[in-house]
A and B are shown apart, each in its own frame.
Chain A
Amino acid sequence: MNNSKILVNGKSEFITAKNINELLLQKGITPTSKGIAVAINGIVVPKNYWESKDIITGDQVEIVKPFKGG
């Protein structure tokens, strides 16, 4: 199994996930849950591309959702 070294929410780690869907599942996040948004290398990846968008070494992944705020 290939490992890719990427940054997930600012944390460097090796992952085996090939795409965003797999990455979310490995992180215990249900991809279909409301409010999750993902960007790779500063570009937002719409939900319908989460299965097709490959994750490769060096990618910077941001996974966000709404929180309390003013």
Chain B
Amino acid sequence: MPDKLQISNKFFSSRLLIGTAGYPNQQIMLDSISASGAEIVTVSIRRISLDAYAESMIDLIGDKYHLLPNTAGCATVNDAVLTAKLARESLQTNWIKLELIGDRDTLYPDSSQLIIAAEELIKDGFIVLPYCTDDPIVCQKLQDVGCAAVMPLGSPIGSGMGICNPYNIEMICKRSNVPVVLDAGVGTASDATQAMELGCDAVLLNSAVSKSINPIGMAKAMRDAVSAGRLASLSGRIPKRKYAEPSSPRLGLIGS
């Protein structure tokens, strides 16, 4: 049985989810997404420019990937819920990456409002994937109201600081009955590997690829990093010891 990622009733071969923002140009974005092997690709929902034409994301990538709209930037339950409903109409999907930020500087989620918005959307038939803090209790509550996954941050969005609290991420993974997707903070490939080794089911990232010097190369690195971390997690790391443990046999040592 192939090792597939299951979220709600859908199965995915790739455990890397990737964003579409911040690439040097459109072609590099397309090539990077392709190189990453990701099947789930995030987009935002924004007011259309009434002054200038912009190419549609649906025409660009809609037929190749599972588009996951987000509510990025929303700071109230009403705005997040309306954005999710507009996204459903726009993309004909009931999947939503729910973001409800509490502060523009940190972009940290407003946990209490996030849970309220998640519950409202789930009641309306949405498959909700919330971007949340690395707080096991918040993750539990999001799970309890019916979220299809939880997506705790490793560190603030776009910070590239990696996983600031690996103990919390590991605890969230151990306690969760729904997939855990590390969302935000990944800076380089080892961060993605660490997330998977800690037990995450997938990694969602954007800036680490789009803002790198070579996005296509970094996208490949992230693809391999996530695969390596997953395999290591399934295979089981050796316990850490305080003293050395020789790997070569002691018996038959010359001079003994």
Q: Which residues of A contact B (CB under 8 A)?
A: 8-11, 27-29, 33-39, 42, 44, 46-47, 62-70
Contact = CB atoms under 8 A, between A and B. Distances in A.
A16 B94 CA distance: 34
Given A28-B50, A63-B47, A65-B90, 14 more contacts: A9-B47, A10-B47, A33-B56, A34-B58, A44-B88, A62-B86, A66-B45, A66-B69, A66-B87, A68-B19, A68-B23, A69-B19, A69-B70, A70-B44
Top-9 shortest CB links A-B: A69-B44, A70-B19, A70-B206, A37-B90, A37-B89, A9-B47, A66-B57, A66-B43, A37-B86
A28 B54 CA distance: 12
A28 B50 CA distance: 8
A68 B47 contact: no
Contacts, number: 107
Interface of B: 19-23, 29, 42-48, 50, 53-54, 56-59, 62, 67, 69-70, 72, 78, 82-83, 85-91, 157, 206-207
B58 to A, nearest CB: 4
A69 B21 contact: yes
Contact of B48 (A34, A39, A42, A64): A64
- Residue from A37, A38, A70 having most chain B Cβ neighbours under 10 A: A70
5 contacts: A39-B82, A62-B86, A66-B57, A70-B21, A70-B157
B78 A9 contact: no
A39 B86 contact: yes
Contacts of A29: 48
B82 A67 contact: no
Contacts of A44: 82, 85-86, 88-89
A29 B54 CA distance: 11
B48 A63 contact: yes
A65 B46 contact: yes
A33 B90 CA distance: 10
A70 B45 contact: no
A67 B20 CA distance: 8
Contact of A34 (B62, B83, B88): B62
B50 A9 contact: yes
Contacts of A47: 89
A14 B59 CA distance: 32
Given A34-B56, A44-B89, A46-B89, A69 B20 contact: yes
Contacts of A64: 45-48, 83, 86, 90
